[in-house]
Amino acid sequence: MRIGAPGAEKPVVRVDDAHYVDVSDLTSDFDETFFAAGGTALLADAVAARVAAGVLSAFAGERIGAPIARPHQILCIGLNYSDHAAETGQAIPTEPILFTKSPNTLIGPNDDVRIPRGATKPDWEVELGIVIGKRTRYLDRVADAADAIAGYLVVNDVSERAFQFERGGQWAKGKSAETFNPAGPWLVTPDEIADVVDLGMWLDVNGERRQTGSTKTMIFDPFFIVHHLSQFMVLEPGDLINTGTPPGVGMGFTPPIWLRPGDVMELGIDGLGRQRQHVLGPR
């Protein structure tokens, strides 16, 4: 995890809901340098020793930042759930649909989400995020992707559908407004997850359930995605990949339901924690 004021977060390791281990003396941040050095594995012994010695800190209401520093890139996979493709009336992709999201969209899991100027169709998307653990290019086999993954986290791929579909069909326009990528609360290493393609997912707006799904309906699983992307680009340590959303997004309703200032989004994925964001109007 990273806790503290925006721009001044410190790296910690969560022990339980009440306690954490401060590791800011071992690494300055959970960033490209940390992941490239195999940081998650290197921390394990030090953290275990501190837990055994009772060297713990208690959470005291600190702000939770995104669990990684701003990445080199945020890559996103569209229409990656068979039931979500069905609700949008679009064909199931034959290979991953790729778009990018500005890295400065990354915020903490409970930070406010701000609707951009001119927006008319803001929407929500609970997603599984992948963090890349080492420089990755031209993987030979899908199975090799497991070694390239540092961990998983909850993300909300907030979207503005009018910008996305009605402004030249360029998805990045509808995905890259400030605050449009809440992430966290924590990064979970793969050894903590029994089956990454069998995780329940959910999202509520104003206390009403909108999305209910599971990673089991993914068309392309995390390992396929990482292998596939490595054939087209170099993935850097600390890069974030948003892997698509299950059904229940606002544009899938009849009539569509769009976010408005004052709304509250709550969302989560089994074992990866939960988020809560207030929606604000334009600056």
pLDDT in tens, the chain (283 residues): 999 999 999 999 999 999 999 999 999 999 999 999 999 998 999 999 999 999 999 999 999 999 999 999 999 999 999 887 777 777 889 999 999 999 999 999 999 999 999 999 999 999 999 999 999 999 999 999 999 999 999 999 999 999 999 988 889 999 999 999 999 999 999 999 999 999 999 999 999 999 999 999 999 999 999 999 999 999 999 999 999 999 999 999 999 999 999 999 999 999 999 999 999 999 9
Sign of the alpha-carbon dihedral angle for 130, 135, 136, 137: positive
Cα 259 from Cα 156, distance rounded (Å): 13
What is the H or E stretch that residue 265 is in? strand 264-269
Dihedral sign for Cα atoms in the order 187, 190, 191, 192: positive
User: d(Cα 97, Cα 171) in Å, to the nearest integer?
Assistant: 11
The bridge status of strand 273-280 relative to strand 113-114 is parallel
Q: Are residues 185 and 49 in the same domain?
A: no
The range of the structural domain enclosing residue 55 comes to 2-64
Sign of CA dihedral 148, 2, 156, 18: positive
Statement to judge: residues 270 and 191 lie in one domain: yes
CB atoms within 10 A of CB 72: 15
- Kindly provide the b/e burial profile for residues 17-51, where b requires at least 16 CB atoms within 10 angstroms of the residue's own CB: eeebbebeebbebbbbebbeeebbeebeeebeebe
Domain boundary among 22, 46, 64: 64
CATH number at residue 110: 3.90.850.10
Range list of H helices, 37-157: 39-52, 82-88
Classify residue 142 by its DSSP letter. Answer: G
pLDDT at 90: 76
Q: Of 64, 89, 111, at which residue does a domain stop?
A: 64
- Tell me, yes or no, whether 150 and 219 share the same domain: yes
Same domain, 166 and 48: no
Q: 153 and 26 share a domain?
A: no
> What is the torsion angle, in degrees rounded to the nearest 10, for the CA atoms of residue 139, residue 144, residue 145 and residue 147?
-120
Query: Given this model, what pLDDT does residue 169 score?
Result: 80
Residues with Cβ within 8 Å of residue 205, at least 6 apart in sequence = 124, 257, 259, 263, 264, 265
State how far the Cα of 213 lies from the Cα of 204, in Å rounded to an integer.
Answer: 12
Tell me what pLDDT residue 273 has: 98
Name residue, tokens 């490239």.
36
Do 190 and 225 fall within a single domain? yes
What pLDDT does residue 24 have? 97
Q: What pLDDT score was predicted for residue 170?
A: 82
Question: Are 53 and 177 in a shared domain?
Answer: no
16 and 116 together in one domain: no
How many domains does one find in the chain? 2
| DSSP designation for 86 | H
Among all chains, which residue has been given the structure tokens 């569509």? 256
Query: Could you give the count of Cα atoms lying within 13 Å of 242 in the half-sphere of its Cβ?
Result: 33
| 122 and 245 inside one domain | yes
Residue closest to 269 by CA, chosen among 203, 217, 219: 203
- Please say whether the beta carbons of 132 and 226 come within 8 A: yes
Within this chain, do residues 60 and 95 fall inside the same structural domain, yes or no?
no
236 Cβ contact partners less than 8 Å away, ≥ 6 residues apart: 32, 71, 72, 73, 132, 135
- Domain boundary (22, 45, 64) is at 64
Cα(276)–Cα(110) distance, integer angstroms: 5
Clarify whether residues 59 and 72 are in a common domain: no
Residues 34, 121 within the same domain: no
